[in-house]
Structure 1
Amino acid sequence: MLVGLGLVALNLRPAVTSVGPLLQEIVQSLGFDRTEAGILTTLPVLCFGLIAPVAPVLGRRFGAENMIFAALVAVAVACAMRLAPSASLLYASGVLAGLAIGIMNVLLPGIVKRDFPRHVGAVTGFYTMMLCVGAAGAAAFAPQVEILFATDWTAALAVWGILALLALPAWAPLRAHFHSAPQAGIGETRNLWTNALAWQVTIYLGLASSLAYSVFGWGAKILQDRGMDVPASGLMLGLSILVQGVGAQFAPLMASKRGDLRFSALLMTGFGLAGLLGYLFAPMAVMWLCSIVLGIGQGGAFAIALTMIAQRGGTPETAARLSGMTQSVGYVMGALAGPLAVGLVHDAFGGWPPVAILFTVITLGAAVCALGAGRVRTV
């Protein structure tokens, strides 16, 4: 199961992070304006949230292992769709990949809570680290695929479907068990909507995600507009995402003996903001350092959010219900307050510096929610 989790986690972000470094080329090829480009980067994240309320029902009905297997197939198909230089197919592939990844996002925390109840923090850190490796590889090497194989952006986006094909045979034997991760239907989740702690976890995840997906979608473009070439910007973004694995692995372990996550959450959000401001204003010579600081902060913040879902849930069933709520609302919030908002602010004010205010406001909101969600309580 641990090996399978790692291989599945490798597929949770490449379909998203491979787009950012090639965005300028895609825009020029398909004639997109800034708003259309923002929609392209926002669609998958929005689909993460839209499918989240349905994912627990599917997991209970068909088995979590079976649904993850089907989602891997869908990711492979979505990547293959990008071989055609078509705007409609590119948008459709983003929707399909977003729905498939959203299902896996919701089902995995319940599986971790069920199969590794004494090691939730460590296993969550492990699969988040593998998620970061996949995300970083796609961001860093998508431009390199173009250069190495003398191809265009279509093949550089489609190639990441191979990761899903590699995960399928490793995950397939688990389908024989056909035991669903503890899940709850939509109706059974309603009582969470009036719970303050559930909302604190949800908003924290949403705001942390909005910053992460802003970097996935626009980080390389920010560096390119500041004078960095496309391959270098992809490598810099890849470095940031790769380092997220370090933050993801160790941030949950910084919790107090009682499980208090407030200090580690505040520290990671502070690191993330420092890295974001560095991308916007720091000298280009120290951009590698900004990428490291940004990666540690964002990876740690995301892993803490996943740990909060498992710990604050109390029981596997409640953790699954909380996972459905946080990821449905959180990712929709992340899509609207993140990549789409960044594009709109950039266009409205004609540059990147005003985006710093948006990043700061989002970070402060996440910090306030962390003070509530990080306390040792259960829903």
Structure 2
Amino acid sequence: MIPAQDAVNSRVQTRTGLSLLILGIVLIAANLRAPLTAVGPIIGEIRGETGISNTWAGMMTTLPLLAFALLSPLSPRIARRQGMEHTLFAGLIVLLAGILLRSVSSVTALFAGTALIGVAIAISNVLVPALIKREFPNNVGTMTGIYSVSMNLCAAIASGVSIPISQGLGLGWRGALGSWALLAIVSVAAWLPMLRSRQRPQAVQTSADAKKSDSLWRSPLAWQITLFMGLQSLFFYVNISWFPAILQDRGMSAVSAGWMISIMQFASLPATFFMPILAGRRSDQRGLAVGVASLFLVGYLGLLVTDTAWLVPLWVVLVGVGAGSGFGLAVMFFALRTKSVRQSAEMSGMAQSFGYLLAAVGPTLFGFIHDATGGWTLPLILLLIAAVGLLLAGLKAGKYGYVAASDSKEAAAAKGNH
């Protein structure tokens, strides 16, 4: 099984080992969104050179999400056989290969590299929250906040620098996307020490273990967490894919629209850090879920009903804060609604599998509806409806409880650590 609390890796017992582990987590997190958010601001440039439609442009975001959906349930199983540290390292190597492949001069390579990036991110998306629960059982909220801030900070930077790299430095969209290989290389190097202090791979799953996993899929609470995860992810990926186009259609320059997306993501950072801490300090998170949904509702409604230029940053910031707090709360549900590390990984895999499958529909559907209607009104109305769904799911997921019975030994170990 994913390592129990009584087998905490000895590396965290030293200051150097702890610092290296935190650095490794921060760098992995930095790679989880930046390669995707770098695309939105230069999507027009990519379309202009390659000739792809809005629907196919949406697929550049949808492909990674489909990879998340297909591979998320498999990540815990791979980690049990290969070890969590080695599995995360392999994910970084695949990510680097995908970034490089996506940057060569071929539409086929563009989409193939994008798919590889999705495969790599799917692995870390699932395993890092479980790694945090395993190694930092008494500081899950703080470490989740650090992990989330690193992810969103680099995502914001990626949105803002894509056009300056592409047009300002004259490297084109391939150079803008390929530049993120440098971060992947640094992350690979930083994760190497973790391989020397890895935990042993776990035994092959028994029939009893399988029954425990199956019970998770029959839990109504687990499905509410999955829906909450999926809808907040849908909002994020629609935002980074199409907000630049929406803002440019309303008269904003490409550079300004790109930086507006960066502002949205920078606005999310405080909420991304503090939401996991707030959630970890209370047993019931329904009030927090209501706050998250309200931010999305007000932000999307503002974009729908007014074209006033000076109000646009306000709506963008509200959506950004909603995205940051929504992600932080969703990830915390994996720890707060489970009793063991193994179950946390299984919950993460389930939520990200079906959740990202739901999110994958968003960018492509958004682009298709825009192509069909020639405007953004209907797509924004659908986002408002989805925000109501997020509210309902959050009211269920935020209520105190656990998704299913967990392994007694792990639960006992977890209890002893709290």
Q: TM-score range by the shorter chain?
A: over 0.9
Greater mean alpha carbon deviation, residues 12-21 or residues 180-189: 180-189
Q: Check if 1:143 corresponds to 2:188.
A: no
Counterpart amino acid of residue 232 in structure 2? A
Q: Check if 1:296 corresponds to 2:321.
A: yes
SS of match in other structure, 1:42: helix
- Is the 8 Å Cα contact of residues 110 and 316 (structure 1) preserved in structure 2? yes
Partner of 1:13: 33
Q: How many residue pairs were aligned?
A: 378
Report the Cα distance in structure 2 between the residues aligned to 1:220 and 1:314, rounded to whole angstroms: 41
- Is the 8 Å Cα contact of residues 280 and 332 (structure 2) preserved in structure 1? no
Q: Check if 1:372 corresponds to 2:392.
A: no
Greater mean alpha carbon deviation, residues 60-69 or residues 296-305: 60-69
TM value normalised by structure 1 = 0.95
- Is the 8 Å Cα contact of residues 83 and 202 (structure 2) preserved in structure 1? no
Q: Check if 1:113 corresponds to 2:137.
A: no
- Is the 8 Å Cα contact of residues 148 and 272 (structure 2) preserved in structure 1? yes
Partner of 1:226: 250
Identity %: 35
- Is the 8 Å Cα contact of residues 82 and 201 (structure 2) preserved in structure 1? no
| Aligned pair partner of 1:198 in 217, 222, 225 | 222
- Is the 8 Å Cα contact of residues 26 and 153 (structure 1) preserved in structure 2? yes
Q: What is the Cα deviation at residue 181 of structure 1? A: 9.0
Q: What is the Cα deviation at residue 83 of structure 1? A: 2.6
Q: Check if 1:169 corresponds to 2:189.
A: yes
- Is the 8 Å Cα contact of residues 149 and 273 (structure 2) preserved in structure 1? yes
Partner of 1:236: 260
Report the Cα distance in structure 2 between the residues aligned to 1:36 and 1:257, rounded to whole angstroms: 43
Q: Check if 1:97 corresponds to 2:117.
A: yes
Q: Check if 1:333 corresponds to 2:358.
A: yes
Partner of 1:245: 269
Partner of 1:316: 341
Structure 1 alignment gaps of length 5 or more:
none
Greater mean alpha carbon deviation, residues 347-356 or residues 92-101: 347-356
Report the Cα distance in structure 1 between the residues aligned to 2:171 and 2:246, rounded to whole angstroms: 24
Report the Cα distance in structure 1 between the residues aligned to 2:166 and 2:368, rounded to whole angstroms: 29
- Is the 8 Å Cα contact of residues 73 and 346 (structure 2) preserved in structure 1? no
| Aligned pair partner of 1:210 in 215, 223, 234 | 234
Q: What is the Cα deviation at residue 345 of structure 1? A: 2.0
Report the Cα distance in structure 2 between the residues aligned to 1:181 and 1:317, rounded to whole angstroms: 13
Q: What is the Cα deviation at residue 297 of structure 1? A: 0.8
Q: What is the Cα deviation at residue 303 of structure 1? A: 0.6
Partner of 1:47: 67
Q: What is the Cα deviation at residue 38 of structure 1? A: 1.6
Structure 2 alignment gaps of length 5 or more:
1-20, 404-418
Q: What is the Cα deviation at residue 254 of structure 1? A: 3.1
Report the Cα distance in structure 2 between the residues aligned to 1:344 and 1:141, rounded to whole angstroms: 27
TM value normalised by structure 2 = 0.87
Report the Cα distance in structure 1 between the residues aligned to 2:203 and 2:396, rounded to whole angstroms: 25
Greater mean alpha carbon deviation, residues 252-261 or residues 17-26: 252-261
Counterpart amino acid of residue 19 in structure 1? V
Partner of 1:152: 172
Report the Cα distance in structure 2 between the residues aligned to 1:237 and 1:140, rounded to whole angstroms: 7
Report the Cα distance in structure 1 between the residues aligned to 2:172 and 2:281, rounded to whole angstroms: 51
- Is the 8 Å Cα contact of residues 64 and 114 (structure 2) preserved in structure 1? yes
Q: What is the Cα deviation at residue 184 of structure 1? A: 9.1
Counterpart amino acid of residue 152 in structure 1? G
Report the Cα distance in structure 2 between the residues aligned to 1:102 and 1:279, rounded to whole angstroms: 31
Partner of 1:60: 80
Q: How does 1:121-132 map to 2 (within 5 A)?
A: 121-132=141-152
Greater mean alpha carbon deviation, residues 253-262 or residues 366-375: 253-262
Report the Cα distance in structure 2 between the residues aligned to 1:73 and 1:100, rounded to whole angstroms: 8
Report the Cα distance in structure 1 between the residues aligned to 2:128 and 2:349, rounded to whole angstroms: 11
SS of match in other structure, 1:251: helix
SS of match in other structure, 2:164: helix
Greater mean alpha carbon deviation, residues 179-188 or residues 45-54: 179-188
Report the Cα distance in structure 1 between the residues aligned to 2:302 and 2:83, rounded to whole angstroms: 44
- Is the 8 Å Cα contact of residues 17 and 135 (structure 1) preserved in structure 2? yes
Partner of 2:295: 271
Report the Cα distance in structure 1 between the residues aligned to 2:225 and 2:355, rounded to whole angstroms: 9
- Is the 8 Å Cα contact of residues 102 and 112 (structure 2) preserved in structure 1? no
SS of match in other structure, 2:377: coil
Q: Check if 1:34 corresponds to 2:48.
A: no
| Aligned pair partner of 1:283 in 286, 308, 313 | 308
Report the Cα distance in structure 2 between the residues aligned to 1:94 and 1:217, rounded to whole angstroms: 14
Greater mean alpha carbon deviation, residues 283-292 or residues 242-251: 283-292
- Is the 8 Å Cα contact of residues 252 and 261 (structure 1) preserved in structure 2? no
**What per-residue deviation string (whole Å, max 9, x for no partner) do you get for residues 304-357 of structure 1?**
000001110121111111111111111111111x21221122223221011121
Greater mean alpha carbon deviation, residues 218-227 or residues 253-262: 253-262
- Is the 8 Å Cα contact of residues 247 and 295 (structure 1) preserved in structure 2? no
Partner of 2:415: none
Counterpart amino acid of residue 266 in structure 1? V
SS of match in other structure, 2:137: coil
Report the Cα distance in structure 2 between the residues aligned to 1:301 and 1:269, rounded to whole angstroms: 8
* Cα distance change, pair 162–183 in 1 and its aligned pair in 2 (3 A): farther
Q: What is the Cα deviation at residue 274 of structure 1? A: 2.3
Q: Check if 1:352 corresponds to 2:352.
A: no
- Is the 8 Å Cα contact of residues 136 and 242 (structure 1) preserved in structure 2? yes
Q: Based on CA coordinates, which of the two structures has the bigger radius of gyration?
A: 2
Report the Cα distance in structure 2 between the residues aligned to 1:183 and 1:250, rounded to whole angstroms: 37
Report the Cα distance in structure 2 between the residues aligned to 1:267 and 1:32, rounded to whole angstroms: 38
